[in-house]
Every structure is written in structure tokens, then in C-alpha cells.
Amino acid sequence: MVFVHRNLANVVAHTDLNCLSVVQFAIDVLRVEHIIVCGHYGCSGVPPALRRERVGLSDNWLRHVQDVRERIPRASRPVHESHQVDRLCELT
């Protein structure tokens, strides 16, 4: 069985009651034994977060991605933006 929950920029936040409800339902009701958190490269939500571009209501959600970026020491950040996007895709 595959039970899927998706959201913008592949973010799993501890404050996201929708995501937490999906996981709890999958475990307690559907008796899912294995949970896979899977992101992907080329996520279209990451570049605006990286550039701090305003995209509307989604800005609130993309703040989670910006928070992750701010936790990466500057010396450890890739130089090229495409590599920064890939790294954030891996970390969020």
C-alpha cells in the first residue's frame, strides 16, 4: 500500500498539523509499518526561498526552507546557486 502526503518544497515541519495528522492516521489507523520521507531535486519551491523572492501566501511556508539555509555556515555553502538549490533540496 502507498499512502502519500505532499506539500510545497517537500517540507516536513513539526508545526504542520496536516502532515502530522497524515502520519498519525497512516500509523494508527492504516497500520503502515514503514514511512519514507522523499524529496527531489529540481523542486520549484526552493529557488524562490533561496533568493528570498516574494511569491505570495507561499512565502510563509517557504520560510522553513530559508530557516534551513540560515543554519548552514556560510563557509559550507556551495558557491553556485544551482548547487545551493540542490543542497537545500537534500536538507529540507
Residues 16 and 33: their CA atoms lie apart, in Å, by 21
**pTM metric for this prediction:** 0.78
Query: Can you say how many angstroms the Cα of residue 51 is from the centroid of all Cα atoms in its chain?
Result: 16
User: Which tens digits make up the pLDDT trace of 35-92?
Assistant: 988 888 988 999 999 999 999 999 999 999 999 988 888 777 888 888 888 988 888 8
Q: What is the pLDDT of residues 10-27, one digit of tens each?
A: 888 899 999 999 999 999
pLDDT given at position 77: 80
Residue 1 · residue 32 · CB < 8 Å: yes
pLDDT for res 55: 94
